[in-house]
Amino acid sequence: MASMFILMCFFISLAFVSYVHYASRQRRKGDRGDGHGKAVRLPPGSMGWPYIGETLQLYSQDPNVFFASKQKRYGEIFKTHLLGCPCVMLASPEAARFVLVTRAHLFKPTYPRSKERMIGPWALFFHQGDYHLRLRRLVQGPLGPDALRALVPDVEAAVRSTLASWDGNVVSTFHTMKRLSFDVGVVTIFGGRLDERRKAELRQNYAVVEKGYNSFPNSFPGTLYHKAIQARRRLHGVLNDIMRERRARGEPGSDLLGCLMQSRAPGDDGDVALLTDEQVADNVIGVLFAAQDTTASVLTWIVKYLHHNPKLLEAVRAEQAAIRDANDGGARPLTWAQTRSMVLTHRVILESFRMASIISFTFREAVADVEYKGFLIPKGWKVMPLFRNIHHNPNYFQDPQKFYPSRFKVPPRPNTFMAFGNGVHACPGNELAKLEILVLIHHLVTGYRWEIVGSSDEVEYSPFPVPKHGLLAKLWRDNSVSVHTDGCQNGDNDDNGVVIV
């Protein structure tokens, strides 16, 4: 008993000493000058407990409530301490532009080390400078309009397969959309040249990596994190085998993988490979990661928003029905030009991104002491532009809690809509994501009807916002229209009844 009391006293004393040391460091940082005798202070805010900070408060409540309450109390720039890191939060368009565009060189992309290890340290979004610029140019080719134009049939085939597997079943919309996004990502990376065995290996191992991505980074055997690291190694091995097979055939390909494999840079002894196989593998895994959860999440929200707005759904259905009719009732495939003509549907997508704010914030780290509006952002501190706070600010979007796609008839004010980020690190795959969503909506509203099962008002964050249980929904063919799939025409009897589930 005495030893337990002594141990408790020791830990209390250690916590007190740590707090005094921590508070002293914060005071010294807050008293720095700007070089001209003028004091530059830290932003207002609360840092919480030493080391723990306010992480427990963030994870014990809706993160929207956490950040909104901070902004209401302290203003559009405030400090906090999360996940072991001191942070400065920025909730204004001007501040977001400052960090992501005008002074982007002062703020490097940053992720927790455990997450970098999971995806791969050479992935595009962990870097800045020359390596990032060269790699971004490489990636933009296979993700540009010319490449996407040729990809439309593959995306449409993936969408048809997804909806056919859902037909008549109650499923988690989010998990169904994740499978679709994975299939589209695989087609984009491997150009439809991947055999089913390799595809199954990628899917199986990636699923394990994904489960461990947000787990506590404990490498003890049997933990989710340890299993994910093992699966990550297997993924690397599968990708190495695919690259080796392509080289043996002398056909690297013109898809994203082939583009990365063939990248060259001038050297002293002639052109040399710009990327090693390890760098190629890290970026392939990074693209799979970026292409899946965010797109799947917004697709889930679109299903919910359209279901809850019947008049809007009918307007979207009318727009898409006109395109279907132009394609002989769906007998002919969609074209790139037709996806560009879906004006109302595109506004629905933009409003869904704004309302759901899939990417609530982004991580940066100050590489030097930076002054912004009289406040000090110390070197090494995390800096987080809060996209969600900006997207839901009534000063920029009137009645922000209302789903109202027509607001995008007029372009939003600069730097107030950042669904795909901003600056040199804006998402290079945003047009691919839009293409996938447009094709899915086209076939969903012209060929099917659906009902949401159970409550859909609760939201889970893992880490992207998703309706509770992934939005359970039942889908069935709309027999009031003729739909062509794989050359087979369905019945056209008039049956608009509601299925009770």
Q: What does the pLDDT read at residue 151?
A: 93
In 3D, which of 16, 40, 20, 236 has the Cα closest to residue 119? Answer: 236
Strands 77-82 and 264-265: unpaired
Using an 8 Å Cβ cutoff, are 450 and 416 in contact?
no
Residue 251 CB partners (closer than 8 Å, separation 6+): none
Q: At what angle do helices 173-190 and 196-213 cross, to 10 degrees?
A: 130
| pLDDT at residue 39, rounded to an integer | 61
Per residue in 304-336, pLDDT tens? 999 999 999 999 999 999 999 999 998 999 999
Q: What is the DSSP letter of 49?
A: B
What residues in the chain have per-residue pLDDT under 70?
1-39, 265-273, 456, 462-463, 480-501
CA dist., res. 452 & res. 241, Å (int): 43
**Per-residue confidence (pLDDT) for residue 12, from 0 to 100:** 41
| Cα 123-136-289 angle, rounded to 5 deg | 40
Q: Which CATH number fits domain 34-121+359-391: 3.20.20.70, 1.10.357.10, 3.30.43.20, 3.40.190.10?
A: 3.30.43.20
Alpha carbon dihedral 332, 334, 335, 337, in 10-degree steps, equals: 120
Give the helix ranges, DSSP H, for 219-330: 224-249, 256-262, 277-307, 310-326
**ω before 142 within 30° of 0 (cis)?**
no
- First CA to last CA distance, the chain: 59
Its pTM stands at 0.84
What is the tens place of the pLDDT at every residue in 279-303?
999 999 998 888 788 899 999 999 9
User: Could you tell me which residues are beta bridge partners of residue 448?
Assistant: 477
The SS3 of residue 334 is coil
Q: Which CATH architecture best describes the domain 151-188+283-357+400-489?
A: Orthogonal Bundle (1.10)
Domain with CATH 1.10.630.10 in the chain: 151-188+283-357+400-489
Per-residue pLDDT at 462: 66
Phi–psi pair at 36, nearest 5 degrees:
-125, 20
Supply the pLDDT for residue 308. 94
Domain with CATH 3.30.43.20 in the chain: 34-121+359-391
3-state secondary structure of 137: helix
Q: Are 282 and 122 in contact (CB under 8 A)?
A: yes
CB 208 within 8 A of CB 303: no
In angstroms, the CA 181 to CA 190 distance is: 14
Half-sphere exposure of residue 123: CA atoms within 13 angstroms, side-chain side: 22
- Per DSSP, 37 falls in state S
